[in-house]
Structure 1
Amino acid sequence: MMSSHQFGNLKMCHLWTTLLIFVIGGVNCDLTISPLGPSLVNTTVGSNMTLVVTISGAPDPVVTWKMGSLPVVTWTLGSSVAPDISTIHRDVLKIESDGSLTFQNVSFVYSNTYTVEIVKSGLKTVSATFVLKVYDYIQNVSVNTEPADAKEGAEKFTLQYSTLQGEADQWRWYFNSVEIQNNSHYTVGQKSLVIHQPNRTDTGPYTLVLTNPFSTVTFHRKITVLYGPDEPMLVASPSQAFFVSGDSLSLSCQAEGVPQPSASWMFGGQTLPVSQGGSLNLTNVQTSQGGIYTCVLVNVNTGAQRKRNLTVNVYESPTASPLCSVNAVNGNVDLQFHCRWPGGTPEALLSFPSLTNATSGAGDFSLTMPASQDLNGKMVLCRANHPLHQTRCNITATGPAMFLPMVLTTVDREGKIVVTIHCNSQATPKAMVTWSKGTELLANGLQYQISVDTAQLSIHDFNASTAQLYTYTCNCSNPLGSNGKKTQLLGPTISDSSLFHNQDGTIVTMTWEVPPTSVITGFDIQMSGPDLLTVTKNGSRRKRATEGFRSIQQRSGSSRSTDISVLDPKSTYYFRVIPIAGRTQGEPSVVQRIGPGGLSRPQIIGLAVGIPCSLLFLLLLIGLVYLCVYCCRKKRQQNRYPVPRAVEKVVSSQPDVHTPNHLLTGGLKPLPDYNRITSQAAPAERSIPLPTFVAPPPVRTATIV
């Protein structure tokens, strides 16, 4: 700013310069104006300063000062009329007598371009231009950001500074002490720094340096670029492929980010409670807790989030054992081997390695094979593999085995006989049964009904009197073969019976048997002999002997024994059983007797038949003995020779009969040499030549007492 004294001196110099110009060059009639001093003038707010000019060439020109393009002061130089100054500028602007413009207590609003024009009628208009900049000392610098937080991936981030006092005509930005230049990433503006597509590397200290002709200020600001969460890292502890039901484990989820992202866990659409560090702790885990767990990481400042899934496998071994079976399919032609191991997580892997290695199934597996005799009796193994347990089961397919039909007789509500024949042949798979009567193939109808499993035939309204006229055949078959059996139904028949009594003889138990194919609906127990004992009011007992059999009990067709009590042990009773089929009675059983003395009828008949037979046998035995004796005598008479004397001597010299038998005390005595004895005898003692005698081999004998 120029003082008044300096301004007076400057005017005097200007005047003398003008006079010198006139003296040397003569008088010039053209208007001239020139700034006295620099055209760029810097000043501080509140100060006084003058834009000095020199005007020459014509007296009394009109001087006009413009601020920008708007006139603010107009005055005829040297006129007594007051200058025309805009009302809003009268307190600040003042025109000097030489045409210079003076500012009093200047403010920032007067920082502008000022142009002075001189106009004189008949002369060319001339002008001069000044630039006035009003400064203040820079104080209270602040930097604002837009948006408030720098986020990685945003379009831009702007740092904009402001000052409470003073303006800068120079500004420089620094990052990590390195000056920032305009490029594709940074744009340095008059009041701001723009960071395009900020990222985490833009985090750090930023420095702003503001400068004007009268002051310099430095400002620091640390910027943190928010980012994340990055790709989450999921860890299960302990680290293993699967967990067993009842185990405990912990799931953690972490990712890079500023600020540190917060973690939450979701399972089955529900948010689970987590620990302070974001870990999920699972104790005594069950198979229902196995599955996909989702970790959600959220940056609370940026709102950005990421999700990542972690699969937790919780296994449980099946509780039961695998089940193997085989069925007949495709019209009883093929075999379907079936293996099932229910339960468990995951389902067990099942296969039949002895049949094929090409196919397998999980949990429930079937394999169909053409039936062949190679499979008859062959044990087929099912291999069951589970991550926690491996086991197996087996099944053996067999054709129908030999069997015996079972016959059961009942009576329906109408009192008609129903005969049921059951054919059960041991076969795997279960054999299907077809039924026929004679050559007639039977089917379900009014009289014949076949069970769902075909193993049972029910014959309704059966006529027991014609039972033996028909033969029923059941044929059991499966894909591995067939086996049939014929059943000849019999009328009511008893094959055997017996009778047992207690120690006192007052109770007897009668048992009986029937043929397996006999049609029987009940039994009539009959007795012959005295009535059973009865007790009268006075305590006495009475009995009455009867002739013939009478019914005393009726038993069902399934009964095979009965007890008969209150018998008199001193009396004789006869019992028999009559089989019944509806209204048809069969032949009675053998009569059983109980009681003291006498012979029963069967015993009497036995004796009557046995005595003649015994006499005949005795006569035959006597005749046989007589015949043997006769033959022996006749043979002796034919082979008789004179007895030599030497032999007589030998015979007479035999030991006494009371002498102990040496054969029993051990050792065999040699027999005499009869050939030698006869050769030494006198000729007179031999009547005819004797044949040569060969001694028999020694024989050890013993007497058994």
Structure 2
Amino acid sequence: MVRRWTLTLCLILLAAVTESIVIEVVGPQAVVVGDDADLRVTYASSAKPHVMWALGDLFASWDIGDNSSLQISETFQQRLEVNTSTASIVILGTRLADSGTYTISLSALGERPSSHNISLTVYELITNVKVTVPTADIKEGDPTLTLTCTMTTGTWDALAWFKDGERISSNSHRLLVKNELILRNVVRGDAGTYSCDVQNPFNNGTAQESLQVYYGPDVPVVTINSSSDPSPERYVLVNSTVTLRCRSESEPPARYLWSVGESEDTSVPDHSVLTLTHVQLDQAGTYSCIASNAKLSRIVRKTTSVTVYELPEGEPRCAMVSIDSGAKLRFSCKWPGGFPFAQIQWLGLSRNLTAPSHLVQDEGSPEGLHQTNVTCLCQHPAATKICLLQPEAPLVVPSWLVLKGTQGKAMVTLKCQVTSDPAASIRWFRDRAQLASSGNVGFSANNSELHVRDFSIRNDTRELQLLLQEPAGREQAHNGTHRPPPPRAVSATTQWDSSLSVLECPPLRCGHFLPHPITCWDTALRQPLQFLEHPAGGSDVPTLHHHHQAPG
């Protein structure tokens, strides 16, 4: 019966608890170690509740308005200020160990109990931040490297790492763990200035340290420069100033040595720049740059070749001459000297021949080369030059001059103006017989003029023949081809008995039969000067025939 009434009373009491106690707190709280922490609480309750504070374990409790009910644990004795008319507390002279989550609980008859958490963080001011790097030498390729951020005192909420002013994020190469920065598989790019920045709500601190990573030397890069050569990596010319520069990535900076060829001799210039002033042919060869890093005890070598050329002398010289009695032309082209020798080649001839420095080439059937460009191509590794020749069949312009002498005697000059190169070989014939200097017959230095002294119409008027032996040609300028002016009528003067006569003659070309007689007419003396076609079976020589007719 008693149990039944007890159960009934409990049910009645529970039915009467219809509301919970309302609790409000100010938090979270942050204080500097040694300062007081005011954990203020307000509540709403229809009765005077029972108060309990816990930091994991219960450390204080009391009934609102009853000082005698206050109980404080030994941990907070003399460090806790309590106004029993409220639910708030003040922790005096906070310690770092006071940081944590505090729980306040209120309970009262007829109300549901309530509880609330308040976070308290006790900070120590940050002082003397320092970044620590390993004291041992750090080398490229080391598996790991750890940098540590420390401070003499301080509690931090945030810690950030920076490299050369840029914030570091955690990745596969850089790992952030608490106050450490771990670098995996160290590379030369890891060198730089690292800083650590720590903060809490009351102050912050920063520190930095330089990190040096040793590496190299890498295989050197050698460059060649010349004072006058456009492509010194291919060749340089004699007497130019050549500069070889060697560069190798290394920390500490590499030391450089130069050697010639593959020799191990290192007693050579110890600078990254090697200068060859007025380089000569015997300085061509293989140059090696040796880069060393004493810190890492490493040595590497890079070899390069210096090619020295010398241009041949001056400009190419080309010429042609007639050989084998005019049956052939001999072409000659020279560009002597130099290293290596220039390769000479004639373009436009029947054979494709090549020779060093000097090429002589004979060409048959020269008549087929008339007014054709023949080019001498001179090729040297440092330059290419040409020389042009243009074979030209001769242009023959005959004229004659009679000078009256005393006692009815006179001297007759027959002149053959021949435009040709090489010079034509000129011979004079009378009645098919070659004339020679004797008696009253004489010649100019090149046989272009025939002088007949004491000229007698009766004795000296014969059939004259002019023989030219010459395949032909004329040297031209490099930058173009000069062509002779077009054929035109020519005039010559004859003096006879103090009267002036004019001869008008068309030009002739040697080596061809005349299609019909060509006459030069002296209008004053009424005398023809005829050039006749050879009779059948005759030699290939133009015939000069002079008719005399007394003035009328």
TM-score by length of 1: 0.33
Larger strand fraction of residues: 2
Larger helix fraction of residues: 1
TM-score by length of 2: 0.40
The structure showing larger relative contact order (alpha-carbon pairs under 8 Å, at least 6 residues apart) is: 2
